[in-house]
Copies of this chain bind each other. A is one copy, B any other.
Amino acid sequence: MDLNTLRNSFLGRLLTEPADMAAFLTDWRGKWTGRAIAVAQPDNTEGVATVMRWCHAHRVPVVPQGGNTGLSGGATPDTDGLALVLSLTRLNKVRHIDPVNNTIEVDAGVTLQQVQEAAREAGRLFPLSLAAQGSCTIGGNLATNAGGVQVLRYGNARALCLGLEVVTAEGEIWDGQRGLRKDNTGYDLRDLYIGSEGTLGVITQAVLQLFPLPASQVVAFVAVPSPAAAIALLQLAQARLGSSLTAFELMSDACIALVEKHVDAARLPLAERSDWYVLLEVSDTQGESEAGEAIEGLLEAGMEQELATDAALSSSLSQFKALWALREDISESQGAEGKTIKHDISLPISNIAGFVTQTSEALSEAFPGQRLVVFGHLGDGNLHFNLSPSPDRCGTEHVAEFLALEAPINTLVHDAVMVHQGSISAEHGLGVLRRDESARYKSPVELKLMRAIKTALDPLNLMNPGKLLP
């Protein structure tokens, strides 16, 4: 294996010095650190193909990496040091915007925020939106089928992608860069690569769907008595607002208390506290007054039915941002409070209220003194069902004790998810974090089918080995 030959065979960089490689070998949260023979940063698809052919010829495992912002360890190499990290960040061109076809063609290494901005400059909306958008790349978003706050209306990353270019495990280039909304000419390779976490091939380009920019957006922060009331309010909102309902988020009072504690500007916009809150957003093709009226009508009906007790509406862009910040700052505030135990689960919406009640009780019985920090995308059935230590046990002296609970708490929560017919990874993927747990819950038939596909597309098991599948 001659790394110099590889270095000279493609356009781009090949990093081999430990100091140069370090940033690529640890995930951004510092949860996983691995080793690698090198970090390759090709400048284009041809370069990716060249690197992949070299790795295939030399039986070198490959760990594809985008913005390195994943939450499941899917982009970090393992510790044996045999793999090459393939960073896609230098494939960074927005190639083409077609406002008539409502599509944008981008390289895999373009950040999500760059895609959003390019779309906006063309008078269009690219709706995928999540906390890491300034750093995460669209290739990583597709490889993990990312979600975020607008899934209710626009779907997840998979639903927003029309075409892909992929370099296969053998280093061949599959050109599936199509800007078509209908194409029934064979197996759905696109959706197979999407969400496969780099274990089947390397996404190098994508054609994404754009939408008209909404003329107005209004958000309401609503006090609700319970998750069950929140779900009934969601039904009402869907019936009254249809697809102009673009977000419907749930959070407990513990979440808002954490944000108020750790974010200076944050304050509850309501006179009285409530156990639960909903943040809902309406996007309208008409003016702000129409959107405001629609929300007001909904809230009036909701209060009449005792599904809501109070609400604050945004009437300016700064209020819109401040209300959204209460929701968006939860995750960071929970991190600032101390160690966390996180679950990214989804459930049929009809099972959520029961799940929350039963699982909260079971947790407080089995693991007393922990704080539940429950929030999420209620409209998608996706909850971040997290835990923090109780306020008096957030000091460093209690960390080990708290983290020792992680495995048994995971088992309790995920077993309950299975009973309620849900998923233990709604939008973060499996990576290494949930790989073994997921395999434990899946049926033998499903694992067999997944392994058959893995073997078919990556017979030498060189693509991100050890991720997604045990």
**A179-B421, A350-B98 known; A184 and B426 CB under 8 Å?**
yes
Give A123 Cβ to nearest chain B Cβ, in Å. Answer: 9
In the complex, A147 has a CB within 8 A of chain B: yes
- The answer to whether A381 and B450 touch across the interface, beta carbons within 8 angstroms, is no
**Partner-contacting stretch, out of A39-47, A239-247, A324-332, A359-367:** A239-247
Q: Which of B179, B285, B381, B438 contacts A186 (CB 8 A)?
A: B438
Scan residues 182-236 of chain A and give those whose CB is less than 8 A from a CB of chain B: 182-189, 191-192, 194-196, 200, 212, 214, 231, 235
CA distance A425 to B180 in the complex (A): 11
| Interface-centre pick from A181, A194, A380 (highest chain B CB count, 10 A) | A181
A293 CB → nearest B CB, Å: 11
Asked if A469 is at the interface (CB within 8 A of a chain B CB), the reply is yes
A465 CB → nearest B CB, Å: 15
Interface size on A, residues (CB 8 A): 90
- Minimal Cβ-Cβ distance residue in B for A426: B182
**Is A172 among interface residues, defined by CB-CB distance under 8 A?**
yes
Task: Find chain B residues with CB under 8 A from A450 CB.
Answer: 186-187, 189
List which A408-453 residues lie within 8 A (CB) of chain B. 421-430, 434, 438, 442-443, 445-446, 448-450, 452-453
User: Does A175 make an interface contact (CB < 8 A)?
Assistant: yes
- Contact of A101 with B by CB under 8 A: yes
A241 CA to B214 CA, complexed, in Å = 10
Contact B285 A101 (CB under 8 A): no
A156-B178 contact in complex given A103-B348, A189-B449, A450-B187, C-beta closer than 8 Å: no
Indicate whether A37 reaches chain B with its CB closer than 8 angstroms.
Answer: no
Shortest distance from the beta carbon of A447 to any chain B beta carbon, whole Å: 8
Complex Cα–Cα for A355 and B103 (A): 18
Residues on B with C-beta less than 8 A from A172 are 445, 448
A455 within 8 A of B: yes
**A19 located at the interface, meaning its Cβ lies under 8 Å from any Cβ of chain B in the complex:** no
Cross-chain pairs A/B with CB under 8 angstroms, 7 sampled: A100-B350, A158-B188, A168-B445, A176-B446, A178-B423, A192-B192, A453-B453
Give chain A's interface residues, CB within 8 Å of chain B. Answer: 98-103, 144-145, 147, 151, 153, 155-156, 158-159, 168, 172-176, 178-189, 191-192, 194-196, 200, 212, 214, 231, 235, 238-244, 283-285, 346-351, 377, 380-382, 421-430, 434, 438, 442-443, 445-446, 448-450, 452-457, 468-469
Apart from A151-B182, A187-B450: 10 A-B pairs, beta carbons within 8 A: A168-B445, A168-B449, A179-B348, A180-B426, A181-B381, A182-B377, A182-B380, A186-B430, A187-B192, A242-B285
